[in-house]
């Protein structure tokens, strides 16, 4: 499993895997993921994402760290041959069930991201999509960039849509109505793993039954961009946007189609970023 990492990092990823297994049943029943029919796969995408992704019909699309497949299903609906990969066995079981219920064909694979090339084969995908809470769980972005480049066909494209490292640096959390957003956490990488022990997950729902410990790693925008440049991918677009797909703070206002932004009284800061990077054809 994910060979090439030191034993401490391997153990941390194993803890994360158990933590995601424990989160899965809570997420499936949560209002946040809306799997009772209150949310649609397309609710997880902003308009600009479809502009950037372009035509997907007949394309081979891989969703790395797909979790319950709540976004993955949208690619299948767009006519893509779709594969989802995640290391949580519980998440993959649920993703398969959810796809079956939605009557869409998706191949779900249980694997660590770092083993994706061995498991799926290299040079196989037109689009690798990932993000919205994915990279912060990975210890090494350089190794991630190498495998993304290997998974892509010549002419293929990575589309990464991620929470902005500035969002992750903001605090305090939870935020009282009177408190200003302040820089409370690292923006820059290099401080090692952040260890958490949270009895609850980020969705609504009961306390976790199982592993509550987890590890995260900070990855700045510069670190991600340079990792992709170093493996020869050509970055063709980098958007920084003020949108989030959920209401992170009470004062956020609707931005249309279920998305949220800070009100005009707050400074305009990026909360997500989206990046297209092409493999030369």
Ligand X SMILES: C[S@@+](CC[C@H](N)C(=O)[O-])C[C@H]1O[C@@H](n2cnc3c(N)ncnc32)[C@H](O)[C@@H]1O
Task: Choose between 92 and 170: whose C-beta lies nearer to ligand X.
Answer: 92
Q: Which residues bind ligand X (CB under 6 A)?
A: 13, 16, 20, 65, 67-68, 70-71, 86-88, 91, 112-113, 132-134, 137-138
Tell me how far, at minimum, the Cβ of 164 lies from ligand X, in Å: 15
At 278, which helix (H) or strand (E)? Answer: strand 272-278
Q: Which of 1, 2, 278 is nearest to 140 (CA)?
A: 2
- For residue 279, what are the CA distances in angstroms to 57, 80, 126, 156, 246? 20, 19, 10, 5, 32
Tell me how far, at minimum, the Cβ of 205 lies from ligand X, in Å: 14
Tell me how far, at minimum, the Cβ of 280 lies from ligand X, in Å: 27
Tell me how far, at minimum, the Cβ of 129 lies from ligand X, in Å: 10
Look-up of token digits 């990932």: 130
Task: Choose between 109 and 266: whose C-beta lies nearer to ligand X.
Answer: 109
**214 vs 11: CA distance, rounded Å:** 11
**150 vs 116: CA distance, rounded Å:** 10
* DSSP string for 179-248: PPPEE-S--SS-S-PEEEE-SS-SSSS---SS--EEEE----HHHHHHHHHHTTPEEEEEEEES-BSS--
Radius of gyration of the chain (CA): 18
Look-up of token digits 């969703």: 63
Task: Choose between 129 and 157: whose C-beta lies nearer to ligand X.
Answer: 129
Tell me how far, at minimum, the Cβ of 91 lies from ligand X, in Å: 5
Task: Choose between 117 and 138: whose C-beta lies nearer to ligand X.
Answer: 138
Tell me how far, at minimum, the Cβ of 264 lies from ligand X, in Å: 28
Task: Choose between 17 and 242: whose C-beta lies nearer to ligand X.
Answer: 17
Tell me how far, at minimum, the Cβ of 110 lies from ligand X, in Å: 9
- List phi, psi (to 5°) of 2: 40, 55
Task: Choose between 134 and 271: whose C-beta lies nearer to ligand X.
Answer: 134
How many Cβ atoms sit within 10 Å of the Cβ of residue 68? 25
Task: Choose between 15 and 266: whose C-beta lies nearer to ligand X.
Answer: 15
Task: Choose between 113 and 152: whose C-beta lies nearer to ligand X.
Answer: 113
Tell me how far, at minimum, the Cβ of 112 lies from ligand X, in Å: 4
Residue 241 bridge partners (DSSP) = 272
215 preceded by a cis bond (ω within 30 of 0): no
Task: Reduce the DSSP state of residue 167 to 3 states and report it.
Answer: helix
């Amino acid at each position: 499993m994910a060979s090439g990492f030191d034993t401490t990092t391997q153990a941390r990823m194993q803890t994360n895997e158990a933590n995601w297994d424990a989160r899965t049943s809570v997420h499936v029943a949560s209002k946040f993921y809306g799997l009772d029919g209150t949310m649609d796969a397309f609710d997880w995408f902003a308009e600009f994402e479809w502009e950037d992704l372009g035509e997907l019909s007949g394309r081979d699309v891989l969703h790395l760290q797909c979790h319950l497949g709540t976004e993955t299903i949208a690619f299948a609906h767009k006519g893509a041959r779709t594969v989802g990969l995640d290391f949580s066995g519980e998440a993959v079981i649920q993703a398969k069930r959810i796809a079956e219920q939605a009557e869409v064909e998706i191949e779900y694979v249980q694997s660590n991201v770092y083993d994706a090339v061995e498991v799926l084969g290299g040079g196989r995908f037109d689009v690798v999509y990932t993000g919205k809470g994915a990279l912060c769980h990975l210890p090494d972005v350089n190794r991630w960039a190498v495998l993304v480049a290997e998974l892509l066909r010549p002419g293929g494209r990575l589309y990464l849509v991620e929470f902005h490292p500035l969002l992750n640096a903001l605090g305090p959390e939870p935020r009282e109505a009177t408190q200003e957003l302040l820089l409370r956490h690292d923006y820059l990488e290099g401080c090692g793993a952040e260890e958490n022990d949270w009895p609850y997950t980020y969705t609504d729902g009961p306390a976790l039954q199982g592993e509550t410990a987890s590890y995260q790693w900070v990855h700045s925008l510069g670190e991600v961009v340079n990792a992709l440049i170093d493996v020869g991918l050509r970055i063709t677009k980098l958007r920084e946007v003020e949108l989030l797909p959920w209401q992170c703070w009470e004062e956020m206002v609707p931005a249309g189609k279920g998305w949220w932004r800070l009100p005009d009284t707050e400074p305009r800061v990026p909360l997500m970023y989206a990046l297209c990077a092409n493999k030369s054809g």
